[in-house]
Amino acid sequence: MKYCRPRLNFSGGWLLALVAAITATPAIAETANFGTFTLSTNSNPSPGTLQGFTGGSYSLSAISNRDRDQKACIGFADPNPDHIMVLENDFPQMTIQVDSNGNDTTLLIQGPDQTTIRCGDDTGKSKDASVSDRNWKRGTYRIWVGTFNPEAKQDYTLKVEQ
């Protein structure tokens, strides 16, 4: 049996551009599942706590396998960030902690340059994730709270401390 392949002749490379656009990695959304909050160094107190719930089958390692300190970025979440944090100033130190009543959560925070990644997993003896780090630059941060099992639904409180 002979197979015939149609011959297509496209000039200008527009088909290649269209295929590249369709197959490209999806852009990370600019909206958050549970909202946006803003901090400045004059904020006293910081926003304190934010509410949300986990869920999704998007692998956080698709954003980055490792963070800036070579910690593994693991877990599953929604493709959209759960929270967007806007820093109006540089912060020398900040801690972001998940409280899900001890459920096994993960955390991924993408910096304003989209290449600075911070990831967190267990905090001490707790299965809740946290990130405590220095040198938070002014800009927009995208925050994902994940779980080890895809689609796992866990209510959580996110605590932000300077």
Pairing of strands 91-99, 126-136: antiparallel
Neighbours of 13 (CB within 10 A): 9
In order along its 162 residues, the chain shows pLDDT tens digits of 444 433 434 344 333 333 333 333 334 447 999 999 999 877 655 567 899 999 999 999 999 999 999 999 999 999 999 999 999 999 999 999 999 998 999 999 999 999 999 999 988 778 999 999 999 999 999 999 999 999 999 999 999 998
> Of the candidates 139, 22, 28, 26, which has an alpha carbon nearest to the alpha carbon of residue 82?
28
Domain that holds residue 132: 36-161
Residue 7 included in any domain: no
Residue 59 pairs in a beta bridge with 76
Domain total in the chain:
1
Q: Residue 106: give its domain's CATH number.
A: 2.60.120.380
Asked whether 147 and 105 are in contact (CB, 8 A), the reply is yes
Residue 24 included in any domain: no
Asked whether 86 and 39 are in contact (CB, 8 A), the reply is yes
Find tokens 């089958």 and name the residue: 57
